[in-house]
Amino acid sequence: MNKGAIRLYKKLKAKQFTPKNMCEVGVYLPEESNVLQFINDGIAATLVEADPNYVVQMKEYFKAKPKVTFVEAAVFDSKGNVELSRTGASTFISNLEKSPALINDGYQVNEEEKFTAKAILFSEIDNGDFDLLSVDIEGAEWFVIKHLVSRPAVISLETHGKYYVNSKLPEISRWMADNDYHIWYKDKSDTVYVKRGTFSIGLLDNLSLLKTNLGLSLVRLKGKIKGKI
């Protein structure tokens, strides 16, 4: 059960926001999809996954969902091929300097666990009509945002987690500010951004974000004390 996905679904429902066309990049197991509940509601979705093993499972799991489109590729900063290190839910592009597996788990890149995937620019699959975007690709999230054609109402990105902080967070933050997005909420690994004017963000939302930021800062402080950061 993906608790983050359930939380996103419930919070968007509470704001009376229902997407019309979604995209999720980095799905992992289909039952762990961050937009699963919306797919079950019949919302159109494009699911992007680099690992062919999970794509097979996705196609089987969602075979009765005609509005789901599958893209077997890794979103990157250039087209061609790219190497990934297979580490289950933490599979990442091998040449990244930082990823959750590297920082939090002390993973060492192993040639036997590498595989090659087709690399695409996100703009190749973005027609400009995505209104909900979820990206969890273990440190490569900026490559999606950098080539984004759509301006989704809601964007969920993996930006942090335990001792890990996305190395491209400054670029992501600048892009969000330049394109009129602000932070709605965070959880243990994701930041959810909302385009201004989509719905109101109230005092309770801001207090919850403040509490989460404090908790995340304390975790990182402990990491620095332990020499993990």
- According to DSSP, residue 31 is labeled G
Contacts of 208 (CB under 8 A, 6+ apart): 185
Print the domain residue range for 198. 3-225
Residue 21 Cα distances to 36, 79, 129, 139, 153, angstroms:
13, 25, 7, 24, 11
Spatial CB neighbours of 148, under 8 Å, sequence gap ≥ 6: 122, 123, 126, 133
DSSP β-ladder status, 132-135 and 21-25: parallel
For the segment 70-115, what is each residue's pLDDT rounded down to a tens digit?
A: 999 999 999 999 999 999 999 999 999 999 999 999 999 989 999 9
Render each residue's pLDDT in the chain as its tens digit; 229 residues: 688 899 999 999 999 999 999 999 999 999 999 999 999 999 999 999 999 999 999 999 999 999 999 999 999 999 999 999 999 999 999 999 999 999 999 999 989 999 999 999 999 999 999 999 999 999 999 999 999 999 999 999 999 999 999 999 999 999 999 999 999 999 999 999 999 999 999 999 999 999 999 999 999 888 788 776 6
The tokens for 198 are 């989509």
Let me know: does 103 contact 163? Beta carbons within 8 Å: yes
CB within 8 Å of 218: residues ≥ 6 apart: none
Q: How far apart are CA 167 and CA 93, in angstroms?
A: 14
**Amino acid type, 188:** K
Beta-strand (E) ranges in the chain? 21-25, 44-49, 68-72, 74-75, 80-85, 92-93, 114-120, 132-135, 154-158, 160-161, 164-165, 181-186, 190-195
| Chain length of the chain | 229
> pTM value?
0.96
| Greatest C-alpha distance within the chain | 51
- Residue 34's CATH number: 3.40.50.150
3-class SS of residue 45: strand
**Strand pairing class (80-85; 92-93):** antiparallel
**How many domains in the chain?**
1
pLDDT tens figures, 22-34: 999 999 999 999 9
